[in-house]
Amino acid sequence: MAILKIARMGHPTLMRIADPISDARAPAVQQLVADMIDTMVDAPGIGLAAPQVHVPLRIVVFRVPDERGEDGEGVPLTVLINPEIEPLDDEMETGIEGCLSLPGMAGMVPRHTRIRYRATGLDGEVFERTVEGYHARVVQHECDHLDGILYPMRMTDLSTLGYAEEMSKSAEAGYNDDEDDGDSEPHEAIDEQ
Ligand code: NI
């Protein structure tokens, strides 16, 4: 078990295009994935991409807890090697995101609502999933890390970028009750990934 150091925004490895993996079953890949899972669980995070642990390779790990999934159903621990994403339509959804590489911060990020993704698993087999909502958001966030993109680069309203702790304080104080959608979701639990 190894907990790896997480790179923060500004580190060059987070800004580059990561390299593809040629053999998913190589021992070095298996070891890196095991260490990434340990690091994600320790953080704790919902997901983690290899560039976040200073390794410029196209590997993502994530899991969605039941309470964060659609209809109370999460996604078990998933390893994506060389993932590819295809949006299924033009519909976008804006939701709050946090990132282990911008600790303590959160912002509202538009993402495709429905996507199909394809990746190689640790067993070397290619698999494909059609997903939506939070699952789709997590995968888009993580795969962006493989292309040097951090969530603030996807934001359309930077006034919603801030420290999660301050946001939850102002939500408690009622500063956010002018939101037009009437959705008074508290910001106290921002998932970092
Ligand atoms: Ni992230």
Q: Which domains does the chain have, with CATH numbers?
A: 12-188 (3.90.45.10)
**Residues with beta carbon < 5 A to ion ligand 1?**
99, 193
Distance (angstroms) between ligand 1 centre and the Cα of 150 equals 7
**pLDDT for the residue numbered 70:** 77
Query: How confident is the model over 94-119, as a mean pLDDT?
Result: 98
Distance (angstroms) between ligand 1 centre and the Cα of 163 equals 15
**pLDDT for the residue numbered 179:** 47
Question: Which tens digits make up the pLDDT trace of 28-61?
Answer: 999 999 999 999 999 999 999 999 999 999 999 9
Question: Which tens digits make up the pLDDT trace of 119-145?
Answer: 999 999 999 999 999 999 999 999 999
Is the pLDDT reported for residue 67 higher than 90? Answer: no
Backbone angles phi, psi at 119, to 5 degrees: -155, 165
User: What strand order describes the sheet that includes 92-97?
Assistant: 92-97, 105-112, 162-163
| 177 against 171, higher pLDDT | 171
**pTM confidence score:** 0.91
Side-chain-facing half-sphere of 85: CA atoms under 13 Å: 25
Q: In the predicted model, what is the mean pLDDT of the chain?
A: 92
For residue 44, say if its preceding peptide bond is cis, omega within 30 degrees of 0: yes
**pLDDT for the residue numbered 183:** 46
- What confidence category does residue 181 fall into, taking pLDDT thresholds of 50, 70 and 90? very low
Four-residue CA torsion sign, 150, 93, 117, 69:
positive
Q: Distances in Å between the alpha carbon of 48 and those of 52, 65, 72? A: 7, 15, 22
Instruction: Please tell me whether residue 87 adopts helix, strand or coil conformation.
Output: strand
- What confidence category does residue 168 fall into, taking pLDDT thresholds of 50, 70 and 90? confident
Catalytic machinery residues: 142
Distance (angstroms) between ligand 1 centre and the Cα of 143 equals 9
Q: Distances in Å between the alpha carbon of 80 and those of 99, 120, 123, 154? A: 18, 6, 11, 22
